[in-house]
Structure formats: C-alpha cells, structure tokens
Amino acid sequence: MNEQTTQATLASQTTQATQTFEYKAEMKQLLHLIVHSLYTHPEVFVRELISNASDALNKARYRQLTDTAILDYDTPLQITISADRDQHTFTIEDNGIGMEREDLLSKLGTIASSGTLEFLKNLQASGGKVDGTMIGQFGVGFYSVFMAADNVTVETRHASPDSIGLRWQSDGKGTFTIEETDKATRGTKISFTLKESAWEFSDEYRLKSIITKYSNFVDFPILIGSEHINSVKALWQLPKDQVSAEELTEFYKFLTNDYQAPLGHLQLSIEGSVNFKALLFVPETAPMRPTAFEQDKSLHLYSNKVMIQENCKELLPEYLRFMRGVVDTDDLPLNVSREVAQSSPAMAKISKVLTSKILNVLQEWEQSEPVKYETFYKNFGSLFKLGINSDYMNREAIINLLRFESSLQQKGTLVSFKDYVSRMRDEQTEIYYLSGEHRDVMAVNPNLEYFQKNNIEVLLLTDPVDIIIVPSIPSFEGKMLKSIDKADVNVSSAKSDTSDEPSRQATDDLLKLFKDVLADKVEDVVESHRLVDAVVTLVVGKEGMDVQMEKMMKMLDKDFKGSRKVLEVNTEHPMIKNLSQMCLANSEDVRLRQYILQLYESALLIEGNLTTPTLFIRRMWEIMSDATK
C-alpha cells in the first residue's frame, strides 16, 4: 500500500525538474564533524561504501529468491570500483536493491538515530579521539565519503520493475538535490572527484590493499577493472582448524565494524535434530554508543551461505544479545518469510542450542580464564543477569555466573556466591548482601558495622540491576539470601547484657520516648544489636522492600509511598546513655524531642531518603548554638 502511494507520487512528478532539499541543522553539524574531526583513517570511506553496496546486494539476492519479477533478474551480483589516477575520479557501483525517492530522502538526508550527534559531540568534547574507523558503528557510514570528496553523486534505481532512476547530489554542507535520470539498470552508482588530500585513493594498488584489509569477507565479488580483489570465503563453513586467529579477527571486524579484536569466539557445527553452523563472537567492550543503537543488533541468519535475515533477534534470548556473528542453517527454506522463520520450530531449537553453548563458554572462562570472564562480566553483566528472570531453564547456570563486590575484598574485585559460601563460617546460616549506588558510600553504611566488626562477608550490590534480580533468588546451596537492611537479619543478640537495673529502666524509658516522638514516622523503635559506632539506623521491616528498590520505585512513581521503617538505636553508645540519663532526670525536657527527631532524620539522610534537609539543618544549628552557649 505504502509502496504504491510512493510510486504514484513519483509518477506524477516525472516531468518535475531538480528538487533541492536542505539538511536539518543536526545533520549539518554531523557532516561538519565528520569532515573536520575524523581525520584518522580517511580510507574507511571505501569500506563504508562497499559495506552499503554489500547490504544492498544481500537484499537483492534475498528478493531474487522469492520474486522473479525483480529488475535485472539474472545479472551476477557484484561490486565494481573504478578510479582514475589522472582525473582523480572514483566510482563504486553495485547492482543491489537500489533506492527509491523515499530512501534518498530518509536514508541519505537524515540521521537515523537522534543520539548519534550528541554522542559524537560528547566524545569530541571530552577529548576522546573520534577515530575514523568508528564511524560505521553509528549508522552514518555513508557520510564518510565527504572525508574524501567535496561533491558526491548517487545514481540509483530500485529493484522493482516499475521504478525510475534517480540522481542525488550533495556538497555535504547545506543541501542536496534529487532529480530523475534514465538509469536502465538496477542498483546504485556513487561517483565523485577526490579532494587533493585524498588523491591516494585513485591509486589502484592502494585501493586493493584497503579492500583486502577491510572488506575481504564481503560475500560478493569486488572488481577493479576485471580483477577480482576479495577472497569470498564463508569462514563458518570451514572446519575449525582451517580458520586462523587472524581471519577470525578480520571477519569479526568486518561483521561488526568494531575496531578492536573480539574477546572470544565460538565456532559450532551442529548435526542432529537441528542442523546448523555458527560463528559467534563476544566483543571486547560494550559498544561505545548509546544503547539505543544496540537494540536491533543480533546474529545474522544465513541459509546455505545466503544471508536471509540481518540481526535476527529470534536466534538468541534478549539477555545474550551482546553476541555477534552468523548462524547458517539448511533447516529453513531459503524463501521463508520473516514471520514464518520467527515461529518455526527449527529457530527455537537453534536458539536453545546456541544458548547452552554460549553459557558453556562463559563457564569455561569463569573456571580457567577468570580475567577474561571478568572483562566480559563488567561489560555485559547487567544485560546478562536479566536471564535469571527470563530463562528458567538455565537459571541455575546463570546464578553460578553472577559476580558481586564484597565487603571483604578490595574495590573492583568480584566474587561469586560459591566463593562466598566457601568462606562462610560454620555458625553462619545466611548469605548477606547490601545494595547501594556507590561502594564507597556503602562502606560507611551503619548497617554494615556489625558485619565488619565480626568479619562477616557482605556482598555489595552496586549494579542497579542487582536489586531486581537478587531478591528473586531465595537461596544458594541451601543458604538463604538476606539483605542486611532487613530487621530480621540474623545478627547475634548475644550482646552482653551487663547493664544494671536502673540504667535498664532508663534505656527502656528513652526508647518509649523515641516511639512517642516518632509515632507516625516509623513502624517501631528497637534496641540495636548490629550497630557499633553509629548511633541509630533504619532497617526494613520483615515484609518491607529493599531500600534501593524503594528508591527506584520512587523515581518511577512520584506518589509511591515506601513502607515505614524500624529505627534501631545503639543503646551502648555513650550519646544514647547520656540521653537516657536526661530522660531519667526529666522526660519532659524539650531538647530530648529535638534530639530524637535529629537522630531519626540523620538516619534518613544516610539512607538517601531525607526530603526536608532545610529543617534538618535548622535543627542542627539550634542544637549547636545551644551546645556552644
């Protein structure tokens, strides 16, 4: 329907002359940035143009399988490059899917993702080098051509038989034009005269070396003159021992536009209830771009060496989407539609096998290559962990692969539940954890004091995702998991109760006064067994929500009311002893009420939940004025 409308409009414009369009402001900025900041590796424009041609050829090849009415049905798919050393001209031509007017406007006139410009600007402002080789990652690879040319012409004709030829031209600054041409063949031809600084790219020898460096794995012949430059090779089809480490790295870079080598890979050849070959990679770092860029990325699906679907999401569960690579299967017919492929049983089986193989690799790393595993975990852990709540089949395996900071380890060192349990003393029955935003802040959390004093390990959950997943794990190896923010945490109550009767009475009276003053604010006030140096702390009642979780809920919903907390009072603390004496002397003393409120709010402040800092500060000033009289 959509297509028809587009064509109808095009038909009525047949006699129209050249139309001029102005780039949006952000597009202009982006172009400026590309031309003036991406001074390293200008040769990547060759790669980007070839990569686009290859994408277009893949689309044409796929369409040919299902539609014989396609324009130039049986021409061999290929990319032809020609350059003239004397005229400094450069042309790259493909007989791929081509572009319609709408594509020229939306794909070659706007930035695909709104985050791109922001991101590049920030990177540049923070002194980060915007390396030319990175550009393809941002979905703006085409524009790298303006590193080499001032004026670019794109002549294109879409594969639909009734399409018309179009010419797009731009100086990469303010505007571009579109006009009709009489292009007879399907595909796209991009031509320009090289800037003086880029004359080297009209040298055939130089071009050949760039193509073998960056584009060797393109699935279609790349021709310069009649010479075939690239070695078309489906690596994943070869036996493992015939694939070198270099080829793997090159292939990975080609596939992902990453400029670094991958962290690791796995190559699979599966025969059985489902048959497929796969070559998968774990990237070294999470992509340096807003996550929005990533959402559509996944493995490419091939059927007998023909790519039938780019970024096929159904091949992997969401939590393993950091993986890159290709899967090639004969179990799906070539001309299967996207919808059918998605719901096919073969797809589900492939996904299941891939998942378990990937988890196996991670387990291997965890066991024998801990540094590699940590690199993986630090980069992709937040996504990976979510598998706990979505992949019940592999839940145990994922739980074993979790890592946390620990109160007994240096900042940055990660431990597993297994490590933790192996260090537990016999009398300890629970696995303790504390959640928070920053390790340094957590280290001085009053609720941690008891554990530190008694040398009991506490897992420190610093990743916001942890608050979602850890409470969903009730126990590990029979040990219950417990947040130390909770009131019923099993701290020993064997606190020496040497206090004599009168002072016991004073303490009880004081606690009663606390309850009185804070009646509508807390669930209860109790004597603490966990505090050492701190005077008071807030803990969560038995049924209450974890403090961090509550904070998150409040962020999502302004009206969210957290549950009331239990205030624990360190009755061994000299200040509390003083207060008990004051209370004994005169429980009506107004200062007592003031102090109690101040103590309560100080606990709120530590927790990050004090909403009335001004009142708190005013009270503090009053107390200090009083004390310095």
Q: Residue 370: in which H helix or E strand, if any? A: helix 370-385
If contact means CB under 5 to 8 A according to the sort of partner, which of ligand ADP, Mg ion, none does residue 464 touch?
A: none
Q: Contacting Mg ion (CB under 5 A), which of 109, 141, 262, 544?
A: 141
What's the min distance (Å) between Cβ of 257 and ligand ADP? 8
Residues 6+ apart with CB under 8 A from 172: 31, 35, 143, 145, 146, 149, 150, 151, 152
Tell me: does residue 142 bind ligand ADP (CB under 6 A).
yes
Number of residues that bind Mg ion (CB under 5 A): 3
Instruction: Please give the order of strands across the beta sheet that includes 264-270.
Output: 264-270, 276-282, 324-329, 299-303, 306-312
Under a CB-based contact definition with an 8 Å cutoff, are residues 414 and 374 in contact?
Answer: yes
Residue type at 436? Answer: G
Tell me: does residue 52 bind ligand ADP (CB under 6 A).
yes
What's the min distance (Å) between Cβ of 48 and ligand ADP? 6
Tell me: does residue 167 bind ligand ADP (CB under 6 A).
no
A 10 A CB-CB count for 438 gives: 10
Residue type at 604? Answer: L
What's the min distance (Å) between Cβ of 137 and ligand ADP? 8
Closer CB to Mg ion, 293 or 417, in the complex = 293
Pick out residues in 247-306 that bind ligand ADP (CB under 6 A). none
- By 3-state DSSP, what share of the chain in percent is helix, strand and coil, each rounded to 5? 45, 20, 35
Q: Contacting ligand ADP (CB under 6 A), which of 28, 63, 107, 521?
A: 107
Nearest to 31 by CA among 173, 170, 145: 173
The C-alpha atoms of residue 30 and residue 28 are separated, in whole angstroms, by 5
Q: Contacting ligand ADP (CB under 6 A), which of 188, 351, 483, 571?
A: 188
Contact segment (CB under 5 A) with Mg ion among 47-55, 149-157, 354-362, 605-613 equals: 47-55
A 10 A CB-CB count for 590 gives: 8
Closer CB to Mg ion, 62 or 384, in the complex = 62
If contact means CB under 5 to 8 A according to the sort of partner, which of ligand ADP, Mg ion, none does residue 34 touch?
A: none
Q: DSSP assignment of 351-369, as one string?
A: HHHHHHHHHHHHHHHHHH-
The C-alpha atoms of residue 618 and residue 343 are separated, in whole angstroms, by 64
Q: Contacting ligand ADP (CB under 6 A), which of 46, 88, 95, 96?
A: 96
What's the min distance (Å) between Cβ of 27 and ligand ADP? 12
Tell me: does residue 139 bind ligand ADP (CB under 6 A).
yes
The C-alpha atoms of residue 132 and residue 45 are separated, in whole angstroms, by 9
Contact segment (CB under 6 A) with ligand ADP among 93-101, 267-275, 279-287, 521-529 equals: 93-101
If contact means CB under 5 to 8 A according to the sort of partner, which of ligand ADP, Mg ion, none does residue 108 touch?
A: ligand ADP
What's the min distance (Å) between Cβ of 382 and ligand ADP? 25
Q: Which residues bind ligand ADP (CB under 6 A)?
A: 48, 52-53, 55-56, 94, 96-99, 103, 107-108, 139-142, 188
Q: Which residues bind Mg ion (CB under 5 A)?
A: 51-52, 141
